Chains A and B, each alone.
Chain A
């Protein structure tokens, strides 16, 4: 669209060109588009080149078409060194049998400010050892520093943050040795409100090099789907509070359910004060593990209407996100999916059931021909209504040979929430950040330059990432809230925050692990529109405690320490 606009301008200012009828017509058609573009309140600019980031993803492929290649990888945005700036951690694949690609590693980039990032992987010691698929961030030992859990194809790894810019692999000491699985998403959550972060590890399918298969489509080689491999159980670990974990998959009821896990999120869908677990499955019904508050779970996905779409079809679910899209006080879910399935918005009806409102709201616009992956329900323009970002790209690299209604490389999608119950596809009008055609996987969202606008980082399969700076107008107000638990877990994971500003009340929760096998957004962000004051912030901590603060200034990041009943800004360094 932008290219067309520039072309029209060129013709208009060149006096040597006779303005033929066709050019006049072209001008007539392009002018309204330019106007529409300038009116779109969301503007995302591609700033990848200026960041200094040199990471390039590899899926380790060699043409043998191992299924694991198609689903890599996620990423994390978090402040690893506590300097108040959000850093980036990219997961990477590894050369698989048959590949002659050079060795690869995950990459941690420190945010130096002004959109410059430095690769600190070696010093931090988080390059990883396995084929990395999913990641989550949480302070599992409540020492004030964010730790990392990486879910691999192969041995998973827990990195303890030493607080000095380095990490230590403590997987074995923590009792988290888990091998021979194809990993997927992972989440830290406090399953029983004891103040310690427990760990849920999703697994994909029972693929091994021995049971590897390929298939053919219209004579062309292609990857097989997940149903060709046995479904697998997910794993739940309880944090013992002493740096170690115990596998409680069986006693909690989790192990009884076999699936093909992909993205996941932990969230309190029924507002009962504990954290439930939602796992997207690839071509199998999605799981909703309802928590009884003590860490025992019942699978209720089909009962709630989250296991299937409105048509009763099982989806190739990829990413799972949640947020309150219509500001009714209940967390809604958004799940991305395979080609010829709409990415789906499930509206929460008071915790009793979910309505697939994709079609009525337009929340699936543009997704049908694409395989969709990372996603975020993010208020890009700070108008108080959460928009949707969807990362796209097919998983079969030669799909164009036998199906040209889709493509391996695709543009990502932005759907703007009008605030009137509808989403509008503004991908053509919201800046050059939506022009790249790549095969995206994980997508993560946070305020990378602390200007009050949420930026975007996308991991692209086999390519460099894409970094989008949010240049949307600053006329709307916002507030960002960081939680510091004292009795409950230190990051406030699972805490429910309600922000009231005039006639607008919004909720959000702190999550660890979300979207497509990624992690981001520990600092909660609320767009406020033109409301210039926050009347009240209410925090319900996962242990049950409540903090309420009133009359908070806007356009700032505030920290709320559990039990303090007040905000502090900037965020203090709190250690327990």
Chain B
């Protein structure tokens, strides 16, 4: 597929990025490097090409080169926490912990900062001997992702260094519990016939290439080819929300959400246990103002994935938007923060509380949102409004 696209659009640097990516995903990094470098010759500002080259360099143990390539990617692309994390890791592995701390501090200041960025910053601080700072970073990582196994290990380590042995013991216990679960799940997963055959890996790889090819066809005004490849990618990789989001966006941009509904219904019939298909089905139906049908889809998501916050969040947001079932929306929002206590989720809860005239509940929720995402202006403004209101 990548070769076909490259043949079709020889002058398009993205096709070489796609070829490079396809080779990289099949473990042929030398071939990947050749095509990615060609892509950069044609278009020196392709941040994604630098990003993949940085990963190749890191995997080969060329840490200096990996750090340099990450910086090139960051110079050219949008602020990307993944690349910032990669830069932090390379610098940490080089023993340049002060520089790693700086890179990772930039990562956590990004609006879409991940738990992983906080965790890595904790590591860099731990290795620099800044134990108190490290502890705070690990705690923040856990606040964003309560089951972050390695962050508990970091907390154990740092508490031992701070002679907080009792607290350290608690964190060690939690770490060992989570680590045992992780290992058991890895063992179970890897023992499955499907995994042994290597097919999931191949499917994922092929899906990634189809997705890249679809994007290129879309740029070159080949919407039907693009849609078909987005659908194939989604069909091959059952876990990918990105491919389904692209498929959804395709129909939304073409102002044809009803067609999108048909495609996702087809996917749902092929993969009846896949929460993601129903999730996007719900979104498209909501866009068509088919509130009841959307709610049915979201409830199906909740049934298939009761521990996944998104199913509850989407329905809560829908009810708040159309101003229906607002009491249920508040219940749903509470479930969302239980499952994933993040800034945006507390903000949603605050909104749901306000809609139910529950000011104390809203105040409490927005305080949590600000604590988890102190850089978010919206949250601070709402907190201020609530504090100032009579």
Contact = CB atoms under 8 A, between A and B. Distances in A.
Is chain B a partner of chain A in the same complex?
yes
Interface of A: 213-220, 222, 224-225, 227-228, 283-285, 302-303, 305, 308, 310-314, 340, 342, 353, 359-362, 364, 366-370, 401-405, 422
Interface stretch (B105-113, B198-206, B247-255): B198-206
A312 B196 contact: no
Given A217-B201, A218-B201, A314-B183, A359 B93 contact: yes
Contacts of A214: 196
Contact of B172 (A218, A222, A302, A342): A302
A366 B63 CA distance: 10
B29 A313 contact: no
Given A313-B150, A314-B179, A360-B97, A303 B198 contact: no
A574 B191 CA distance: 55
A414 B119 CA distance: 32
B27 A403 contact: yes
A222 B29 CA distance: 19
Given A218-B205, A227-B190, A312 B198 contact: no
Contact of B92 (A218, A340, A359): A359
B198 A215 contact: yes
B126 interface: yes
A311 B197 CA distance: 30
Nearest to A342: B93
Given A302-B176, A366-B61, A404-B27, A310 B198 contact: no
A405 B31 CA distance: 11
B114 interface: no
B46 interface: no
Interface stretch (B6-14, B153-161, B340-348): B153-161
Contacts of B95: 359-362, 422
B123 interface: yes
25 contacts: A215-B196, A215-B197, A216-B198, A216-B199, A218-B198, A222-B198, A225-B190, A302-B172, A302-B176, A305-B157, A310-B157, A311-B150, A312-B154, A312-B175, A312-B179, A342-B93, A353-B160, A359-B94, A359-B97, A360-B127, A367-B61, A368-B93, A401-B27, A404-B27, A405-B29
Nearest to A369: B61
Interface in B221-259: none
- Among A222, A284, A310, A312, max chain B CB count under 10 A is at A312
Nearest to A284: B183
A224 B154 CA distance: 30
A312 B150 contact: yes
Interface in B51-97: 56, 58-61, 92-95, 97
Nearest to A215: B196
Contacts of B151: 312
B61 A218 contact: no
A302 B127 CA distance: 19
Contacts of A361: 95
Which 8 A-B pairs rank lowest in CB-CB distance, beginning with the nearest? Answer: A312-B153, A216-B198, A312-B150, A403-B27, A405-B59, A368-B61, A402-B27, A369-B61
Nearest to A214: B196
Contacts of A224: 190, 196
Given A227-B183, A360-B127, A368-B61, 7 more contacts: A218-B198, A218-B202, A359-B97, A361-B95, A402-B27, A403-B27, A404-B27
Interface residues of B, number: 43
Contacts, number: 101
Contacts of A215: 190, 195-198
Nearest to B178: A312
Contacts of B201: 217-218
Nearest to B31: A404
B298 interface: no
Contacts of B126: 310
B29 A359 contact: no
A228 B186 CA distance: 10
Contacts of A308: 153, 179
B271 to A, nearest CB: 23
Nearest to A368: B61
A422 B27 CA distance: 33
B129 to A, nearest CB: 10
A422 B95 CA distance: 10
B130 interface: no
Contacts of A314: 179, 183
Interface in B252-300: none
Contacts of A360: 95, 97, 127
Interface string B153-171: 1100100100000000000
Contact of A340 (B59, B123, B197): B59
A215 B59 CA distance: 22
A227 B195 CA distance: 13
Contacts of B150: 311-313
A57 to B, nearest CB: 26
Given A360-B97, A366-B61, A405-B60, A219 B28 contact: no
Given A308-B153, A311-B150, A353-B160, A303 B59 contact: no
A284 B187 CA distance: 11
Contacts of B160: 305, 353
Contacts of B26: 218, 402
Given A302-B172, A312-B153, A360-B97, A369 B191 contact: no
Contacts of A222: 198
